[in-house]
A and B are shown apart, each in its own frame.
Chain A
Amino acid sequence: MPDVPGGYLDAASTEPLHPAAREVLLAAMDDGWADPARLYGAARRARMLLDNAREVVAAVVGARPDEVSFTASGTQALHLGVLGTMLGRRRVGTRVVVSAVEHSSVLFSAETSAGAVGQVPVDRTGRVDPGMFRSALDDATALACLQAANHEVGTLQPVAEVAAACAEHAVPLLVDAAQVVGRVPVPAGWSLLAASAHKWGGPGGIGVLAVRRGTRWRSPLPHDERGSGRVPGFENVPGALAAAAALRARSEEAESLAASQTVLVERIRAQVPELVPDVEVVGHPTDRLPHLVTFSCLYVDGEALLTELDKEGFAVSSGSSCTASTLRPSHVLQAMGVLTHGNVRVSLARATTAADVERFLTVLPGVVARLRATAGVDRL
């Protein structure tokens, strides 16, 4: 089993490997080692395992198996989804419409491939307005992108309404479902969908790209002789199988896990402003992911906060600029107009207990108070 401490509260970055995936991963390394593109027994076996994995994932995301490809990561799935659609629809236009709070890989892909990028703003909770999204679409729009839920603040997006608007304009909608697959029901209405196995407890190195039949898509990559579809190269059969096993197990427990995580997150949302002065809890209060809560502590340096929490045994992440490789504050927090400093994202793992959350709530106020006292801002 992965050695995961109880203070691991960063499941939105990566969920530790699900116990159901571990056994399958080891078995598939023995059983699914051959080249699934070849024509002998062991190869057919590998092909069959890969097809099984595809069927499991397809059922969960609401796709047909032949619409689903495994990629090397969620990021690669988004890159291929955006670039391939732009190429397939370049006769229609070169404009992309995105929400302002998409994952950076969507924003960078759009920047790379589009003639113009329309960014739809969000409200203070991080949610796009479907009406504004609809107004941003035009006849030269080749692609629209909307996440199912925001990765930094947990707000669910109105995918169904936006999908309806896209359908009216015959614009394909790419849904980044990385934060919802295996946790909450996957919204319908997508033309392309991307996800990432390590976010649901599968292994790293497996992403998912689903392209709805009839969506114009052309590979932006060189032709691959294997003819294995949308993703070039030798498939990671054991990884795909383990990802599918984790997803199947995760889907079966999703409802009960979401219910218990919702209670714990509700407690954090309610208690943090009671226990710590000058804190703003951000993200939508009800339309949100069950396992994720984000707050910002006024006058506190985000990096210092992460370092001190780490010393206390807690692993969390932050959208504050001092913690980002770019030294720029999170574009999500900026788009929402909420404090970008002193930011903490807590995301509960499958194994996180009520006792872990209580310990976090016990430790946090002292950590923030100490940092404020050291900086001389405790009386501001």
Chain B
Amino acid sequence: MNPDLVLDCRGMRCPLPVIELARRIDEVPVGGVVAVVADDPAAATDVPAWCRLRGHLYVGPGEPVDGAPSYLTRRTHAD
């Protein structure tokens, strides 16, 4: 799956990767996919939990970037 937007959150500690995702998910259209690349292990739990709380869809892990895991999120609604 090719993401519409890749957020490089390497080096950011929790909760910054999720904040970055919240700030920028509006940059993709509804149905679009955002990849969060994050080396903080907390992101593995916090990205799916954020999707659940905000009503977006957590798709699953994406392609790692230089060994850093990535997490795919589909924007499912406008606000």
Chain A residues within 8 Å of B, Cβ to Cβ: 278, 280, 298-301, 320-322, 328-329, 333-334, 337-342, 375, 377, 380
Is the CB–CB distance between B22 and A334 below 8 Å?
A: no
Contacts of B22 in A (CB 8 A): 299, 377, 380
| Interface residues, chain B, with chain A CB atoms under 8 Å away | 13-15, 18-19, 22-23, 40-42, 44-46, 48-50, 52-53
Main secondary structure of the interface of A (DSSP, over half): loop
Known contacts A299-B19, A300-B15, A377-B19: does B40 contact A321 (CB below 8 Å)?
yes
Q: Which residue of chain B lies nearest to A320 when distances are taken between CB atoms in the complex?
A: B14
Known: A301-B14, A341-B14. 6 other contacts (CB 8 A): A298-B18, A298-B50, A329-B45, A334-B44, A339-B45, A339-B49
Contact of A337 among B13, B15, B41, B45 (CB under 8 A): B45
Main secondary structure, interface of B, reads helix
Supply 5 A–B pairs (Cβ within 8 Å), ascending by A. Answer: A321-B42, A337-B52, A340-B46, A341-B42, A375-B19
| Bound-state Cα–Cα, A321 to B38, Å | 15
A337 touches B48 (CB 8 A): yes
| Cα of A56 to Cα of B63 in the assembled complex, Å | 58
Contacts of B49 in A (CB 8 A): 280, 337-340
Chain B residue nearest to A297 in the complex (CB): B15
A234 to B7 Cα, complex, angstroms: 59
Q: Are A339 and B19 in contact (CB under 8 A)?
A: no
Q: Are B50 and A339 in contact (CB under 8 A)?
A: yes
Kindly identify which residue among A322, A338, A380 contacts B14, using a CB–CB cutoff of 8 Å.
A322
- A329 in contact with B41 (CB, 8 Å): yes
Contact partners of B14 in chain A: CB under 8 A: 301, 320-322, 329, 340-341
